[in-house]
Structure 1
Amino acid sequence: MTQIGNADPVHIPARQARSVTVRAGNRVQITDVLGGQVGDIFVYNAYDIAEHHSASHTRTHNSRLFPSLGQYFVTNRRRPILTYLADTSPGVHDMLIAACDPERYAALGDPVHASCADNLRRAMAELGHPPLSFIPQPINVFMQIPVATEDGTLSWLGAPTVPGDSVVLRAEMDCVIVVSACPQDHNVINGPGPTPLSLQVLPSL
């Protein structure tokens, strides 16, 4: 596998996804270019995609809905795959909401709408992987879904980011990272509409 570091930023157009393959120790910066945009992040073991980031295992590992800075995201085999290293955004993120998919948009009367699930399938197919039968729960950076303490109700609010806000994640194993600039426009999570993200791989410290 080719190590990637100090590479030029990868532009992720609105409603699309891009992937990078990185070695353990590399850092990945995801930037909200124009502000107010959610990013769905999917992470796989570079050598065995049956092992992938698991939101439920990460919540168990950290005893939190979302990790604090310095904590791990872990796989379905309970191994660290990413560390939440730095964040210049308001720090509002989500790991409860499933990736949008064709079935969700069909239920909304929009069956040909782009989706994060299809973006992931396309990105993995471009890397030579067979069609995915399972879509993991993504790491939804910049997504604002507060949980009411009284009754557990979820609210759908706009991403609170401004242009240039970013998160930095460190790879704890060689991995494939797919980032989708979420195409959701049937609610307010992406403000007035989807916009681009940027993805850059940085070398080990």
Structure 2
Amino acid sequence: MPIETIPARHGKAVRLSAGQAVEVINTHGTQVVDTWAFCVEDLDHFMSMEHTRVQNGRLMPAIGQTLWTNRREPILMMEADTSSGIHDTIMAACDRWRYEHLGCTEYHRNCADNMVEALAELGLDFHHIPQPLNLFMNIPIDADFTLVQGEPPCKPGDKVVLRAARDCVVVFSACPQDITPINGGKPVDAHFAIHD
């Protein structure tokens, strides 16, 4: 399958069959990609960061580790990662209320709406926003447990490969955040490709 674009500030969804992999490319080295996965037979059965942290005993997944559902079943596996290995599993997807708290007085594109829109493009109607796997997002934890909104420690072309453990729908959002430093100040396109 050819390389597809996740347009800056927008989302994209793709269906994966068990055994297929998706390669997520941080084309410019600065773009956070919020990532969700849903079981095709039941969208209420989805990739869960809370359960993944427990099952792996780790704050963020590493190469070879499984991403688990809210029913503690495998859904994706992190097969490869050429980035720094820094990804976030703590921060909720940005939404319209997040931007209101940041001072926006008009509608601001956001990852939560991007997820809903991307699923709708596949004819799927789902409005609950699970905690995403925030690929390439850098949220250091200080000694006093303060969460820092850091810039992505990535290089252009860094990529993560996620292999499907079951038939699923994977959703990406090229995060629209342009107020905090997490996208290096400006959202840009990211890309993905499907592999057998």
User: What is the TM-score normalised by the length of structure 1?
Assistant: 0.92
Question: CA–CA distance in 1 between the matches of 2:54 and 2:48?
Answer: 10
SS of residue in 1 equivalent to 2:191: strand
**Aligned position for 2:47:** 53
**Aligned position for 1:122:** 117
Question: CA–CA distance in 1 between the matches of 2:185 and 2:99?
Answer: 18
| CA RMSD, Structure 1 to Structure 2 (Å) | 1.0
Question: CA–CA distance in 1 between the matches of 2:15 and 2:7?
Answer: 19
State the number of aligned residues. 195
1:69 paired with 2:63, answer yes
**Aligned position for 2:181:** 188
> How do 1:76-155 and structure 2 match up within 5 A?
76-110=70-104, 111-132=106-127, 134-148=128-142, 150-155=143-148
Is this contact kept in 1: 2:33–2:134, CA < 8 A? Answer: yes
**What is the identity, as a one-letter code, of the residue corresponding to 1:122?**
E
Q: Percent identity?
A: 46
**Unaligned segments of structure 1, at least 5 residues:** 1-6
Question: CA–CA distance in 1 between the matches of 2:26 and 2:63?
Answer: 19
Flag the 1:128–1:95 CA change in 2: closer, same or farther, 3 A.
same
**What is the identity, as a one-letter code, of the residue corresponding to 2:94?**
C
Structure 1 counterpart of 2:28, from 34, 38, 42: 34
Q: Deviations over 1:166-193 (max 9, x none)?
A: 0001000000001100000110000130
Q: Deviations over 1:132-172 (max 9, x none)?
A: 1x200000010010112x32111111011121110001000
Alpha-carbon shift at residue 130 of structure 1 (Å): 2.3
SS of residue in 1 equivalent to 2:37: strand
SS of residue in 2 equivalent to 1:183: coil
**Aligned position for 2:172:** 179
Structure 1 counterpart of 2:156, from 163, 166, 170: 163
Is this contact kept in 1: 2:32–2:136, CA < 8 A? Answer: yes
**What is the identity, as a one-letter code, of the residue corresponding to 1:160?**
P
User: What is the TM-score normalised by the length of structure 2?
Assistant: 0.97
**What is the identity, as a one-letter code, of the residue corresponding to 1:198?**
H
Is this contact kept in 1: 2:22–2:161, CA < 8 A? Answer: yes
**Unaligned segments of structure 2, at least 5 residues:** none
